[in-house]
């Protein structure tokens, strides 16, 4: 792989698509290679400010995936180290959505490492970082906050977080051009879950299924010719 920002961009795109589909061991080497190459290009390459911002964003995405990979492999220390790297990259890229996404990873890692108070703090930091950012990350952060506060026995904070998740669920109003593969796939999994397990075909579940069907009817791919 050559040290070309365009090549790195294409490789990061490939890895983000492949991550949910392929076995983790087959991707780890490529993730580490892309992360290392991106940092070397930032440190020693002659890149313009706009290129540097994009490279930091790509490094943040790669580091975030490595954080998730370390978490999935049962290594919370390595996962948090990679998440901190991802957050520094998000800061250098000045990317609000990336900051919020990394905070959600840190909350997830902390929760499963048995640190619910830390998980709640990271979820709150993520919601503050998200600001007016729209998307599934806002819903995820609110759910992470609710889960952590529930484990801590804080009913009031849990109910408030659940309400935020309900409000953020309006990710179903996302413009068609922003409904990428990851978002529509996640929505379709929710649709499948609602349709399984003998759930009633009426009421809130039925209404939500109809909303998801309308939401996923025109994904981003139809706009690309």
Domain boundaries of the chain, sorted by first residue: 1-94, 114-171, 174-225
In the numeric block, the tokens 């990428």 are attached to 180
The answer, yes or no, to whether residue 129 has pLDDT greater than 60, is yes
- 146: Cβ–Cβ under 8 A, 6 or more apart, which residues? 158, 161, 162, 165
Q: Identify the band that residue 201 occupies on the pLDDT scale cut at 50, 70 and 90.
A: low
Quote the tokens at residue 146: 């609710």
Least trusted range by pLDDT, from 46-50, 114-118, 131-135, 177-181: 177-181
Least trusted range by pLDDT, from 42-51, 146-155, 164-173: 164-173
- Residue 174: CB atoms within 10 Å: 17
Q: Which pLDDT score, from 0 to 100, does residue 182 have?
A: 56
Q: Which pLDDT score, from 0 to 100, does residue 12 have?
A: 92
The answer, yes or no, to whether residue 202 has pLDDT greater than 60, is no
Least trusted range by pLDDT, from 4-18, 46-60, 199-213: 199-213
182-220 per-residue burial string, b: 16 or more CB within 10 A, e: under 16: ebbebbeeebeebeeeeeeeeeeeeeebeebeebbeebe
Q: Identify the band that residue 5 occupies on the pLDDT scale cut at 50, 70 and 90.
A: confident
pLDDT greater at residue 219 or residue 3: 3
Least trusted range by pLDDT, from 6-20, 80-94, 113-127: 6-20
The answer, yes or no, to whether residue 127 has pLDDT greater than 90, is no
The answer, yes or no, to whether residue 156 has pLDDT greater than 70, is yes
The answer, yes or no, to whether residue 111 has pLDDT greater than 90, is yes
**CA Rg value for the chain:** 19
Helices (H), the chain: 5-18, 25-44, 49-72, 76-93, 96-112, 116-130, 136-152, 155-168, 181-195, 204-215
DSSP state of 200: -
């Amino acid at each position: 792989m050559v040290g070309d920002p365009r090549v790195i961009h294409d490789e990061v795109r490939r890895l983000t698509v492949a991550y949910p589909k392929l076995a983790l061991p087959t991707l780890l080497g490529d993730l580490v290679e892309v992360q290392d190459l991106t940092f070397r290009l930032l440190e020693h390459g002659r890149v313009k400010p706009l290129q540097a911002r994009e490279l930091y964003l790509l490094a943040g995405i790669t580091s975030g995936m490595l954080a998730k990979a370390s978490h999935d492999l049962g290594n919370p220390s390595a996962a948090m180290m990679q998440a901190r790297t991802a957050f520094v990259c998000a800061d250098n890229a000045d990317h609000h959505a990336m900051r919020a996404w990394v905070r959600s990873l840190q909350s997830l890692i902390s929760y499963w490492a048995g640190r619910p108070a830390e998980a709640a703090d990271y979820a709150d930091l993520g919601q503050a970082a998200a600001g007016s950012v729209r998307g599934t990350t806002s819903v995820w952060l609110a759910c992470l906050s609710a889960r952590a506060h529930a484990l801590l026995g804080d009913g009031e904070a849990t109910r408030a977080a659940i309400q935020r998740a309900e409000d953020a669920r309006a990710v179903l109003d996302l413009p068609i051009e922003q409904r990428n593969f990851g978002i529509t796939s996640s929505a379709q999994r929710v649709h499948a879950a609602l349709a399984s397990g003998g759930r009633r075909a009426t009421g809130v579940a039925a209404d939500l299924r109809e909303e998801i069907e309308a939401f996923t009817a025109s994904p981003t791919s139809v706009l690309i010719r």
